[in-house]
Amino acid sequence: MDKLAEIMAWKRLELADRLRPVPDAELAAAASRRRPRGPGFAEALRRPDGLCVIAEVKRASPSAGPIRAGIDAVAQAKAYADAGADALSVLTDARYFGGELRDLERVVADQALRPSPVPAIRKDFMVHRIQVLEAVEAGARCILLIVKALDDGRIRDLHEAAQAAGLDALFEVHDEDELARALAHRARLIGVNNRNLSTFAINLAFSERVIPRMPPEVVKVAESGIRTAADAARMRAAGADALLVGESLMRAADPGALLRELRAA
């Protein structure tokens, strides 16, 4: 079993005791109660004059192990927002990434106090509508859909749930076949993961190959392996509108300075 399959199997087991039907009406009602201020997630990544950065709060990962296990999610997200992050990504998986849903709730609550809140994605392994409901109740503006991990029926159901909840969906792909599947579901926000989720090897050439094949109306995100301004410039040259950066920012002595360098690339 490769690592992604292992994680997805665990996620289904983790959720088993709280699964129940989640109709569109319940998702829409939850969205109406939240009514967040500020731009939506995809909207925040349309910067005509440069490269956007989705800054990620990530305490650990299966590939890197512990990164910053004790970091306070709110403090880290605040540092990102102060440095000009266009959007935030908050890991809510506990077993593999050291996160929790409460991290997202606290980050969103803190952002709500700002004059211009920065929107956040719930970064997790989505397999059921109950996770979409949890995301909207926590204040997320977007969910992640990993195309490799889901069949088309599940993608359709989760995407429809996100739309009912007023959330954007970031479709994560790794190659041309997965891009074709995402586009068949009318994806308008697509990220290319430069990390192979089966082996965890990184190669920025994945984004360079796949991003140019996306239609102009798609918001294009390069994910993983972006460490320097040179890497960011390389992704921008490939056509990326935004970067999703986690480990590099989490390890940086001054994450705000690195974020500004990436954003200016």
Q: What is the pLDDT of residues 197-228, one digit of tens each?
A: 777 789 999 999 999 999 999 999 999 999 99
pLDDT value at position 50? Answer: 87
Beta strands in the chain (DSSP E): 52-57, 60-61, 65-66, 87-91, 120-123, 142-146, 168-173, 189-193, 219-223, 242-245
Q: What is the pLDDT of residues 30-63, one digit of tens each?
A: 999 988 889 999 999 998 888 999 999 999 998 8
pLDDT value at position 215? Answer: 98
pLDDT value at position 217? Answer: 96
Supply the pTM of this predicted model. 0.96
pLDDT value at position 200? Answer: 77
pLDDT value at position 2? Answer: 85
Contact 237, 217 (CB under 8 A): no
CA distance 235 to 265: 9
Domain chopping of the chain, boundaries = 3-17+40-264
Q: What is the pLDDT along the chain (265 residues), one digit of tens a residue?
A: 588 999 999 999 999 999 999 999 999 999 999 888 899 999 999 988 889 999 999 999 988 899 998 899 999 999 999 999 999 999 999 999 999 999 999 999 999 999 999 999 999 999 999 999 999 999 999 999 999 999 999 999 999 999 999 999 999 999 999 999 999 999 999 999 998 877 778 999 999 999 999 999 999 999 999 999 999 999 999 999 999 999 999 999 999 999 999 999 8
Q: Which residues are catalytic?
A: 56, 58, 123, 172, 193, 223-224
Q: Which CATH superfamily is domain 3-17+40-264 in?
A: Aldolase class I (3.20.20.70)
Evaluated on CA atoms 187, 64, 129, 162, the torsion sign reads negative
pLDDT value at position 126? Answer: 98
pLDDT value at position 49? Answer: 82
Helix (H, G, I), strand (E, B) or coil at 105: helix
Contact 22, 130 (CB under 8 A): yes
